[in-house]
């Protein structure tokens, strides 16, 4: 298992960690929820829940072509369903699972659960692989 910490500004700001398990394996993204992550209702902000799902699902897509989980995939579409609240002091973990797709587009499902295994949110999305020759220009087509 490889752990990806502090790789991006977003990771450093929010404090989440990505863990990947080999090519074709699984990726997960976890966060220890603090007061910095909650909304005015004192529960995990939905935007952060979505970010965790997006990150885990993107890394899962990446694992289909790169054992390190670092091959870039862009989120084309993400739909999130919020089921329960997570509170400060808990750890939440998002996981992804490829459900279909082809060479350049993948369909991925995700779940966000707390440390008691309670479902917090689920998501479905479409992710597009960024061709290597487009990385330098920032293009995606």
Give 47-80 pLDDT, tens digit per residue. 999 999 999 999 999 999 888 888 899 999 999 9
User: Which residue stretches of the chain have pLDDT < 70?
Assistant: 23-24, 133-141
Quote the CA–CA distance of 60 and 28 in Å, as a whole number.
8
Buried/exposed 10-39: b ≥16 CB within 10 Å, e otherwise:
ebeebbbbbbbeeeeebbbbbbebeeebbe
pLDDT at residue 131, rounded to an integer: 78
pLDDT at residue 134, rounded to an integer: 66
What is the domain partition of the chain in residue ranges? Answer: 2-135
CB-based burial of residue 127 (10 Å sphere; 0-12 exposed, 13-18 middle, 19+ buried)?
A: buried
pLDDT at residue 126, rounded to an integer: 98
Q: Which residues contact 71 (CB under 8 A, 6 or more apart)?
A: 62, 65, 129, 130
Question: What is the fold, at CATH topology level, of the domain defined by 2-135?
Answer: Thiol Ester Dehydrase; Chain A (3.10.129)
Write down the pTM of the prediction.
Answer: 0.92
């Amino acid at each position: 298992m490889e752990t990806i910490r502090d790789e991006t500004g977003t990771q450093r700001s929010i404090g989440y960690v990505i863990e990947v398990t080999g090519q074709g394996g699984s990726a997960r993204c976890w966060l220890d929820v603090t007061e910095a992550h909650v909304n005015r209702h004192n529960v995990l902000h939905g935007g952060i829940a979505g970010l965790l799902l997006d990150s885990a699902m993107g890394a899962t897509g990446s694992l289909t072509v790169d054992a390190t989980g670092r091959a870039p995939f862009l989120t084309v579409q993400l739909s999130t369903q919020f089921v329960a609240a997570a509170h400060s002091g808990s750890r939440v973990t998002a996981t992804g699972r490829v459900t279909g797709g082809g060479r350049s587009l993948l369909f991925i499902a995700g779940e966000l659960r707390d440390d008691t295994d309670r479902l917090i949110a689920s998501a479905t999305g479409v992710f597009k692989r960024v061709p290597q020759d487009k990385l330098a220009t920032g293009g995606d087509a």
